[in-house]
Amino acid sequence: MDLNILYEDEEILVVEKPVGIESQTARSFEPDMVSEVKKHINTLSPKQGEPYVGVIHRLDKPVGGVMVYAKTKGAAESLSSQVSRHQMEKIYYAVVCGKPVENFGAYVDYLWKDGKNNCSKIVDKGIKGAKLAELHYQVVENKNIGNEECSLTKITLKTGRHHQIRVQMAGHGTPLWGDRKYNPKVQKNTASGNVALFAYSLSFFHPVTKKRLNFTVSPKGEAFEMFGIFY
């Protein structure tokens, strides 16, 4: 796998995660981003021992986009602290089925993760294990795909919960195009498991220089190609 590296120095590596690749170490023999990053570091500077690669955030396997990995423990601590203090800005594009009631808005829900079935659900605030989930969205363009109205939506994550965008958009009546887990109109046995969700932009402070860095990658995939703004 050829890595599309957007930036690299001694502390961090910013890379585009392809659709269909796990963002952390996989339990199978399939490629995963951590293994590929380690191979890249070893190729650049072979040395004894396994290189350190810190996972700061995650993208679902069927979702592509910008990710940052730490190459030192100090960088990992700094970046993880930015995540917990909401200083790392993540912007996504999604194609949803239907159209949100408003062109601009925010969803604030409580999500509960069902680890046994690898899914999350919107629940009441008082449920044990429920976590606050917040995102802001903007409808960019509407288009009919087949016989269904779809909306290209720009989403800014304020929290980072398991399957958050997929769960919240579905829970508010506009599930993601191609999402077999949360979109009831998508057949579970379809060949394509790609979800029309892409991590477009990532912004954070460099762990050493403290300079604000921003990286963007245009969304890829069939659903996004139906909208003209990226191509």
The pLDDT, as a whole number, for residue 187 is 63
CB 160 within 8 A of CB 167: no
* pLDDT of 107 above 90: yes
Q: What is the pLDDT of residues 22-43, one digit of tens each?
A: 998 767 677 899 999 999 998 8
The pLDDT, as a whole number, for residue 204 is 98
Q: What is the pLDDT of residues 126-164, one digit of tens each?
A: 899 999 999 999 999 999 877 889 999 999 999 989 999
The pLDDT, as a whole number, for residue 160 is 87
The pLDDT, as a whole number, for residue 136 is 97
Give first-to-last CA distance, the chain, whole Å.
Answer: 24
The pLDDT, as a whole number, for residue 30 is 78
CB 223 within 8 A of CB 62: no
DSSP single-letter state for residue 101: S
114 is a catalytic site residue: no
Q: What is the pLDDT of residues 67-105, one digit of tens each?
A: 999 999 999 999 999 999 999 999 999 999 999 999 999
Please tell me the chain's helix, strand, coil percentages from 3-state DSSP, rounded to the nearest 5: 15, 40, 45
The pLDDT, as a whole number, for residue 190 is 53
Confidence at 48, pLDDT banded by 50, 70, 90: low
Q: What is the pLDDT of residues 167-210, one digit of tens each?
A: 999 999 999 999 989 998 886 655 455 799 999 999 999 999 99
Structural domains in the chain plus CATH codes: 4-230 (3.30.2350.10)
Beta bridge partners of 13: 8, 69
Of 60, 114, 124, 179, the catalytic one is 60
Beta bridge partners of 92: 155, 199
Look at 47 and 227; give whichever has higher pLDDT: 227
Confidence at 231, pLDDT banded by 50, 70, 90: low
- Can you tell me the distance from the alpha carbon of 123 to that of 131, in angstroms, rounded to the nearest whole number? 9
The pLDDT, as a whole number, for residue 223 is 87
State the burial class of residue 6 (Cβ atoms within 10 Å of its Cβ: 0-12, 13-18, 19+).
middle
Cα–Cα–Cα angle for 145, 148, 150, rounded to 5 degrees: 65
pTM of the model: 0.91
The pLDDT, as a whole number, for residue 152 is 96
Look at 28 and 231; give whichever has higher pLDDT: 28
